[in-house]
Chains A and B, each alone.
Chain A
Amino acid sequence: MSATAEAPAPEAPAAIDLRSEFESSGVKDVLEELDRDLIGLAPVKKRIRETAALLLVERARRSMGLAHETPTLHMSFTGNPGTGKTTVALRMADLLHRLGYIRKGHLVSVTRDDLVGQYIGHTAPKTKEILKKAMGGVLFIDEAYYLYRPENERDYGQEAIEILLQVMENQRDDLVVILAGYASRMDRFFESNPGFRSRIAHHIDFPDYSDGELLEIALKMLDQQNYRLDEAAAAAMVDYIARRREQPHFANARSIRNALDRARLRQANRLFETSKGPLDAGALSTICAEDITASRVFAMRSQEKETNP
């Protein structure tokens, strides 16, 4: 009686069509979106493509009963500020969710302040709280090297690191941790925390954008907000990008976004002060050269010239 009532074990599929799997899982959509929405970053896109292929094959192997362990998915993103690390992390969360490696696919973005407490006994609950929030998704730790402060041996960062490592090892099914930061400082961080290095499988390096790519990004950002540059403004923007790069605190796409925000502000001001009659849509959405050249970046250069002729 009992022998007949027992259900037969689910049959493992004999063959898997990776191509159709690739399309049906939605991985294709994510990769295409990535290609379309993000400008430049060719090496990053290549690495993500490779990672996606690996995970897809791993999933196929799992469904055939060839693999049982969850692969290590923790990653580190290194690169200068404004090179798209957070944006790519969001896409990565989506990708992992569609492949079924994480259950929810949300991204929790934190820095040292969110993990490390101010006094003894404050750190562990704080770190745990964040970890719990990130479960089923991706925990993105920006500027992860600040967690480790070698100059202060009683720094609470070490406590957060220990909890992180423990969860990264024991609950690989529950969350994926992505560490991000400047390349050189991340290298030093990994050297002094070998536990992290060995638990991170994928290191992805984000290159700086070229001037041409930054202009493309600027145009795309404006397009999304229904603004456009007139011809002189486009030339000014090219000039602006070249000048801005020379200055301290250059943050790639983020600097461009801030510059555009300020240009919009100046455009609004200009319209408000100069307009006499009604304005049409074209005037409301055109940014002129003077909106860009009024920037501090241009003023600095001319000041320099004045002081050192």
Chain B
Amino acid sequence: MRITQGTFSFLPDLTDEQIHAQVQYAIDNEWAVSLEFTDDPHPRNTYWDMWGHPMFDNPDAAALMMELRDCRKVYGDRYIRVVAFDASHGWESVKLSFIVNRPADEPGYRLERQETASRTIRYTTKPYAADRPAGTRYG
């Protein structure tokens, strides 16, 4: 099951050229771009691991593309996303985030039902990938 989070996730995967253009757009808006990766695809998993520092003073997207190539070499079997952070006063938050790398095989989620007091049922979604320990979930 293809997970959909962040911008562009309902579109086909972006090519490197398209990623470059999007990142350049973010930089031109003075947002700091950075890379994050994870192997826990749960939609509530907001805090991914950082790859390097956010790039506050690189005027060209080639810098991020270089980091992305390096990141793919190490974590090519995991989810990688580009995060564009707007540091300007009043915003101080992420303005754009999109997935740029995903595992070859995305097993999807299972729904767990927990029966509790007086016929109440609690639901949990669990990624199948999370059955395996972190670091060995894909590939």
Residues on A lying within 8 angstroms of B by beta carbon are 103-104, 106, 128, 131-133, 135-137, 167, 171, 173-175
Contacts and interface: CB of A to CB of B under 8 A. Distances in A.
Interface stretch (B52-60, B80-88, B96-104, B114-122): B52-60
Contact of A136 (B55, B59, B67): B59
A155 to B, nearest CB: 25
B111 interface: no
Counting chain B CB atoms within 10 Å of each CB, which of A103, A106, A137, A173 scores highest?
A103
B60 A136 contact: yes
A167 B67 CA distance: 12
A131 B59 CA distance: 11
B66 interface: yes
Given A133-B63, A167-B66, A173-B62, 14 more contacts: A103-B62, A106-B59, A131-B66, A132-B55, A132-B66, A133-B58, A135-B58, A136-B59, A136-B60, A136-B61, A137-B59, A137-B60, A171-B66, A174-B60
B110 to A, nearest CB: 41
A103 B60 contact: yes
Interface in B39-62: 55, 57-62
A132 B34 CA distance: 12
18 contacts: A104-B59, A104-B60, A106-B59, A132-B55, A132-B58, A132-B63, A133-B63, A135-B58, A135-B60, A135-B62, A135-B66, A136-B59, A137-B60, A167-B66, A171-B62, A174-B62, A174-B66, A175-B62
Interface of B: 55, 57-63, 66-67
A2 B61 CA distance: 35
Contacts of B67: 132
**Which interface residue of A131, A136, A167 has the most chain B CB atoms within 10 A?**
A136
B128 to A, nearest CB: 36
Nearest to A136: B60
Contacts of A137: 59-60
Contact of B62 (A106, A128, A136): A136
Contact of B57 (A133, A167, A175): A133
Contacts of A135: 58-60, 62-63, 66
A89 B137 CA distance: 50
Contacts of B63: 131-133, 135
For the complex of A and B, list the 10 residue pairs with the smallest distance between their C-beta atoms, beginning with the closest: A136-B60, A132-B63, A174-B62, A135-B62, A135-B60, A135-B63, A132-B58, A104-B59, A104-B60, A133-B58
A174 B65 CA distance: 10
Contacts of B58: 132-133, 135
B133 to A, nearest CB: 28
A171 B65 CA distance: 11
B111 to A, nearest CB: 42
Nearest to B55: A132
Contacts of A136: 59-62
A212 to B, nearest CB: 40
Nearest to B59: A104
Contacts of A173: 62
Contacts of B61: 136
A170 to B, nearest CB: 9
A131 B57 CA distance: 12
A29 to B, nearest CB: 22
Contacts of A104: 59-60
B28 to A, nearest CB: 10
A103 B65 CA distance: 15
Nearest to A175: B62
* A132, A171, A173, most chain B CB atoms within 10 A: A132
Contacts of B60: 103-104, 135-137, 174
A131 B60 CA distance: 11
